[in-house]
Amino acid sequence: MSTETLEVVRLADYRPFPFAVEHVRLEVSLDPDRTKVRSTLRLRRTGPAGSDLVLDGEKLQLTRLSLNGRKVARDAYTIENGALTLPSAGPDDGGTFTLEIDTEIAPSANSELSGLYMSGGRFCTQCEAEGFRRITYFPDRPDVLAPYSVRIDAPGDYPYLLSNGNPVEAGALPSGGRFAEWVDPHPKPSYLFALVAGDFDTLEDVFTTASGRRVDLRIYVDKGDAARAAFAMDSLKHAMRWDEDVFGREYDLDVFQIVAVRDFNFGAMENKGLNIFNSAYVLADGDTATDADFEAIESIVAHEYFHNWTGNRITCRDWFQLCLKEGLTVFRDQEFTKAMRSPSVARIKEVIRLRSRQFAEDAGPLAHPVRPDAYARIDNLYTATVYEKGAELIRMLRLIVGEDAFFAGMNRYFDRFDGTAATIEDFIGSFQPSTNRDLAAFAKWYGQAGTPTVTARGEHDPARRAFRLTLSQLTAPTPGQPLKLAMVTPLKVALFARDGRKIEASLDGRPADEHIALLDGPTATFSFEGVAEAPLVSLNRGFSAPVRLSQTVSDEDRILLAGMDDDAFRQWEDIQELARGLVLSAASDPQERMDETRLDLFAEAARRAVERASDDPAYAALLLFVPSVSELVLDMPDADPDRLHRARCRVQAALGKKLSGVLTRAIEAIEPDRFDASARATGRRALKSTAMTLLSRLGADAERQIYEAFGRARTMTESLGALGALSNMEGDAFDRALAAFERRWKDAPLTMDKWFIVQATAVRGDIRERLSRLVARPDFDPRTPNRARAVFAAFSMSNPVAFHAPDGWGYRFLADAVIRLDTLNPALSARLASGFESWRRFDARRRQAAEIELNRLNAAGLSKNAEDIVQRALSK
């Protein structure tokens, strides 16, 4: 067992860096095996006299150090644990001094994909969170901001030499290579530095800002892929215009560039003016990309662009404030998606993602607040809690203060903190002048982990024509936080009469047909006046708060409300609750019995809901979604995923039988020859995929029908939908379809990733043999993050039935993968290890099997990244 104690960084220990970096000059001479970096820093002491200058470094070879032009003797500085310390550097009177640092690094040996590394024969960087220290010695922390000028020298094999900011000069070197000069005038932290060198195809365009400035747009991709970046370019231009129109934020450089690389640990990175993307989130066309890929590209391109203001122009003071840039920017990209697509469909998809990933995180040993007060490895806090829950906090803030006050506060935040490193307190304080609400009380959401459960109870008083709604909240203990505070929670409420009328009731003397019940204590009662009859209550409309809602409502009332509610989320939610109740009831029954009468009532209610949504096929497809096993696990003590899966399949089969005609027509519809990326066409294909999934639960009779649909498929969405449906059936059609898919796409790596994923997520009797074959294939390279995630992450995160096999095979498979990958890519291995996050929620046999593997990992001498996840998973 590991006995090393990981060093913990604490928010309470934050101290400003005692020096200001006024300018950074980088001169980089590229060579795969021996890149030379000269860093010239102009510094000024801002802290106490006599403070040591401590610069972060990792895996660097220092070749020269000079102070104000004079070489520093070896005994005048120290290097310990990677950090370079220069005692009492610089004058105490606040005058500037210059430090020149020469280092050498080997990008070709960098398999961790942090710092400067090689990808497909090209140079590429990833500096967030602490990668810049692998390029040169520097105060590698987000509160040290400086303007940069960069010179890149490279051999002739690298025609494109890119960095942050604006290009100022480029040309040939006497040696035969090339050079380029870039200047970024905007102060930025080191994690936003970027450098790319290589040969690419380019897609170019131009954007004219609201003030009339020209911005050159360029996307760099693999040779032959420029046409497949067209959707990403359109998404970028839409995002730039939307940010001007909605938030009043204009782009501030002469050029905006995106580079797509295959070897990347994340989705994308917002480096100032030079975004670097995983190629999966840039390249798309109707043949090779699904509709989900198009949606992800649109969202991620927007997200990284929006960081220009929420992350770059205003960055975070320290990594504890990570949610300040990520949660806020996720909120912005989600609002952008709603503007580009169906707002209701987009919101429901957000909720599905939140419940399946973040709610599980909040309920397990890896739970942490949106702003934690301590961490061991910052790389492990890029989580659903920071991103998705962080966005939900912004959405609640907007609801509490109101639309006008929200945008006034955003403008105040931009004006006050532009060019600085800010905190959550700075952000929340920007809204306080615009509201009489106590936002300090709301801000407690940032410091408390866990998902609150809100219990609702209603009582109608016919004599007073009043309805009293009593709400109470409770949050279960989480690691390090056994006692929980009551949160300020805004819940949208509407009341409906049984004849379908929306009731205009008065709350606190204000008549309206929709109200916000602001629950700001453990319990509160809200009295609605002018309610003549006992109403049906539509609560947490639009998912106004990220909570679990407990209401005692009969199936008949849910069905009635689902048929009249004008809130699309609540309609969907009532259908979900009916399905959830059926699955959980059957899974908890010793004989797994399901109430056939309730099942038929549910299926009929879903049929009528789909009929009402006939003009919105995307919404109709969501109405037929049955809560996932990963989500249902949170509702079942000592959960058994096999039982949940079997019960879920029966509910899906009931839907397939009840709607067989509608579903068959959806499957048989032929897509036009020319790919249509419109919302209507996307919805049509979503309904077709859902139809194939539901019909696959009816048994072998549907196999031929789905296999024929696979053969007719004209888009990747249809092909993957059919493959996924065939994976539910034990016949040989799945393997025949896989073989045909591989023959067509074997030379398209991004598309073949999907081929790996659909097998890793299949619930089949041969899943173990199938996974073993996949990782033995010559085209399975674990050094490529996309391919490793396509098997290991897809299996552990999206196949709970097989991963949580009672004999522990799935846990062993993942643990072996974590050990195998850890020496190559610690950040990736740590992400994979987080697949164990919910292990304590299962029955005793599964818990024992998972604990054995976690203890094996804890004794394996893993990297600090992976060790942090494992030790937290084991903690109680």
Given 270, 295, 304, 853, which residue is catalytic? Answer: 304
Contact 525, 493 (CB under 8 A): no
* Tokens describing residue 386: 């920071």
Question: Which two three-digit tokens encode residue 280?
Answer: 């999966």
Q: Which tokens sit at 509?
A: 């003397």
Tokens of 415: 């004006």
- CA-to-CA distance for 251 and 272, rounded, in angstroms? 11
Tokens of 459: 């009582």
- Provide the residue type at 215 as one letter: V
- Residue 85 tokens read as 């310390």
Residue with tokens 């046999």: 845
> Of all helices (H) and strands (E), which one includes residue 97?
strand 96-105
Q: Do residues 545 and 359 touch, judged by C-beta distance below 8 A? A: no
C-alpha distances out from residue 524 to 111, 472, 490, 519, Å: 55, 6, 12, 6
Asked if 174 contacts 150 with a C-beta cutoff of 8 angstroms, the reply is no
Q: Which of 360, 357, 242 is nearest to 299 (CA)?
A: 242
Q: In what order do the strands lie in the sheet with 96-105?
A: 70-71, 61-67, 96-105, 35-45, 19-29, 146-154, 178-188, 166-172
In the residue annotation, 671 being an active-site residue is answered as no
Max Cα separation, the chain?
94
- What is the token pair recorded at 745? 């796409």
Return the C-alpha torsion angle 560, 566, 567, 572, nearest 10.
40
Token digits of residue 503? 């009731």
For residues 446 and 464, give the distance between their C-alpha atoms in angstroms, rounded to a whole number.
Answer: 40
Phi, psi of 570 (to 5 degrees): -65, -35
Q: Give SS3 for 309.
A: coil
Provide the Cα torsion 798, 799, 801, 802; round to 10°: -150
679-696 vs 291-306: helix crossing angle, rounded to 10: 130
Per the structure block, which two tokens stand in for 391? 């966005």
Judge contact between 797 and 810, C-beta under 8 A.
no
Partner residues linked to 100 by β-bridges: 40, 66
Q: Which residues of 122-140 are buried (b: 16+ CB within 10 A; e: fewer)?
A: bbbbbbbbbbbbbbbbbbb
Instruction: Please give the structure tokens belonging to residue 827.
Output: 């950040």
Q: Residue 142 corresponds to which tokens in the numbers above? A: 């987000």
Whole-number Å distance between alpha carbons of 65 and 37? 12
The enclosing H or E element of 641 equals: helix 641-658
Tokens of 562: 């689902």
Contact in structure between 624 and 609 (CB atoms under 8 Å) = no
Q: Which residues contact 319 (CB under 8 A, 6 or more apart)?
A: 9, 129, 142, 375, 378, 381
Task: Please state whether the peptide bond connecting residue 129 to the residue before it is cis, i.e. omega within 30 degrees of 0.
Answer: yes
> If you search the block for the tokens 């801002």, which residue do you land on?
46
Q: In sequence order, what are the residues at sequence separation of 6 or more whose Cβ sits closer than 8 angstroms to the Cβ of residue 509? A: none
- Show which residues are catalytic: 304
